[in-house]
Structure 1
Amino acid sequence: MSTVDKALEVLGLFSERRPSVGLSEAARLLRRDKSTVQRYLAALENQGFLEQDALSRAYHLGPAVTRLSVVREITYPIETAVKNVMTKLVQDTSETVHLSHLQGVGLSSVGVVETAVRNTRVYIDPSEILPLHLTASGIAYLAQEPQEKALKLLQQSFAKTSSVEGVTLESASALMRFAKTRGYSVADCTFDYDVVGMAAPVFASSGEPCGAVAVATPKSRFDSETEVRIATFLVPASHKISRIYGAPKDT
């Protein structure tokens, strides 16, 4: 790892949960000696990427980060960046892709990209709220929440939206556990009777889950090989969207 890489690792320590960091904490988190980390902090401060509080001596992000953030949003807006990731996922899977964010006890679509190479493809109504317990997106999202919060949201989702035969609190909880392990979820015709959904969670800058990106496939062309192929592209795409949102690398 180059010196530049090591210095930039310092910037990765900052988030909404950790807006400032001191020398000792930075050294502990980076697993490096204090003298080395001090050099990185000083270099970043000299270039305006960090500022040091005069009283606490802790460091926080500096004006250079703000300037680059403004330039980034003007020249390559988040919406465009996310749309490009979704479009690439459509090209890789030849299926409809949609992105949704949590809204109450459901998920609201914030983007849909349809495939142009299939005569038969899934239509996603962008105005429809997706129930958490019946959709791959909902299960993928819930799998990343703390157990107590996930269970509460799951119960509220069941209470708000009528379920389908075979979908119970226990079966939905089992799907959440599988999704947590695999990094993606599968909903086999539980929301639309002829559609199989696969989804992976996306995270906000706070490091907390905020929604999911999903691939919707007609049941007629979904099998185990299709699942493996889609997952190969879906999970990395969810990571890219999370990075665009500013999520920490460890999410």
Structure 2
Amino acid sequence: MDMGTTTKALRMLDFFSLTGPEIGLSQMTRLTGYNKATALRLLTELVEYGLVEQDSDTKQYRLGSAVLRLAHLRESSFPTRTVARPFMKDCVEQSGECCHLALLDGFHLNTIAVEDSSAHSTRVVIDAAVRLPLHATASGLAVTAFGSQALREWVQTEKLEQFTSSTIVDPAKLEPVLERVRTTGLAESPDGFEIEVHGIAAPLFDAKGLAIGSIAIATPSSRMNEELRQRIYAILLNASANITRAWGGSFPASFRQHIQT
């Protein structure tokens, strides 16, 4: 595959998160906007690389075993989840709420680990298959505020999707939110991506001091109060510092003031 074809084919993998475990050619054509011949050619090439499988009976497509192999190789060479798990468990134990870890992938975030809480009968359930937008989630806002210039330019120039009535899509209104994140070291998104979900997140940094991911706690909005908010603030800043150090990352000067060194 040439580079352009490779990019188109790999982008098709994202659409498997929008459907059930399997997807048909006609549905993939509608989702991608490609014509049927192009969609079939790209799916066939993905099948050849083991990234996609086709059921011989239903002719439906699903993610292939090569995806698991690549995920294993990634975790073996850079054990992000393994290293972060103990700190995520601490977040859940101390807050009584769900915790999730996300990594930047282009102009979205992918959830790579979730730790659930059994402290409450009503709790947020995180769907790891759903990609997190930069502008509508606490995780996305945390990464954008402390990430590359390209991320900030993207949210200023793209047509942003309105997920709920609380989603901020106006760049002029989004910039003060990002500035507040830089000031506090934390991002909040009350009902911005899902109704009745209040997310709070802290950024995670690479060796260059750029945000590449986030650690977040999600709670039902009805349970959020000032005491819980302040507790989550302290929990997440501590977790951010610990995970960043464990990953071999470094803190930019704008964030170093928020953590204990």
What is the TM-score when the length of structure 1 is the normalising length? 0.65
Which amino acid is the alignment partner of residue 204 of structure 1? D
Between 1 and 2, higher relative CO (CA 8 Å, sep ≥ 6) is seen in: 1
Distance of 1:172 and 1:194 partners within structure 2 = 21
Contact in 2 for aligned 1:139/1:172 (Cα 8 Å) = no
- Is residue 89–residue 115 contact of structure 2 (8 Å, CA) maintained in 1? yes
Question: Structure 2: which 5+ runs fail to align?
Answer: 1-74, 257-261
Residue of structure 2 in register with 1:248 after alignment:
250
Aligned-pair CA distance for 1:81: 2.4
Counterpart pick for 1:131 among 133, 136, 144: 133
Q: Aligned pair count?
A: 176
Q: Is the 8 A contact 1:96 1:217 kept in 2?
A: yes
More moved, 158-167 vs 114-123:
158-167
C-alpha distance 227-137 of structure 1, shift in aligned 2 (>3 A): same
The structural deviation recorded for 1:137 is 0.5
Q: Do the aligned partners of 1:90 and 1:115 also contact (CA within 8 Å) in 2?
A: yes
Aligned partner letter, 2:90: K
Larger Rg: 1
Deviation per residue, 1:29-74 (Å, 9 max, x gap): xxxxxxxxxxxxxxxxxxxxxxxxxxxxxxxxxxxxxxxxxxxx99
Q: Give deviations 1:131-168, integer Å, cap 9, x for gaps.
A: 1000000111111125x423322146x52634543512
Q: 1:163 to 1:121 in 2, by over 3 A?
A: closer
Is 2:150 the counterpart of 1:117?
A: no
Deviation at residue 78 of structure 1 after TM alignment: 4.8
In the alignment, the residues of structure 2 paired with residue 106 and residue 83 of structure 1 have an alpha-carbon distance, to the nearest angstrom, of: 22
Partner of 1:188: 190
Residue of structure 2 in register with 1:151 after alignment: 152
Task: Give the Cα–Cα distance (whole angstroms) in 2 for the partners of residues 145 and 187 of structure 1.
Answer: 18
Question: Match of 1:159, as an amino acid?
Answer: K
Instruction: Give the partner amino acid of 1:246.
Output: G
How large is the RMSD of aligned CA atoms in angstroms? 2.2
Displacement of 1:244 = 1.1
- Once the two structures are superposed, residues 157-209 of structure 1 have per-residue CA deviations (whole angstroms, 9 ceiling, x without a partner) of x5263454351212221111111010101101111110100000001233221
Q: 1:241 to 1:119 in 2, by over 3 A?
A: same
Secondary structure of residue in 2 paired with 1:207: coil
| Matched letter for residue 136 of structure 1 | A
Q: Residue 135 of structure 2 contacts residue 160 of structure 2 at CA under 8 Å; is this kept in 1?
A: no
SS of 1:143's partner is helix
Matched ranges for 1:69-108 at <5 A: 78-108=80-110
Q: Distance in 1 between matches of 2:197 and 2:135?
A: 15
Distance 2:251 2:165 in 1: 39
Q: 2:125 is aligned with what amino acid?
A: Y
Distance 1:117 1:163 in 2: 28
Q: TM-score, normalised by structure 2?
A: 0.62
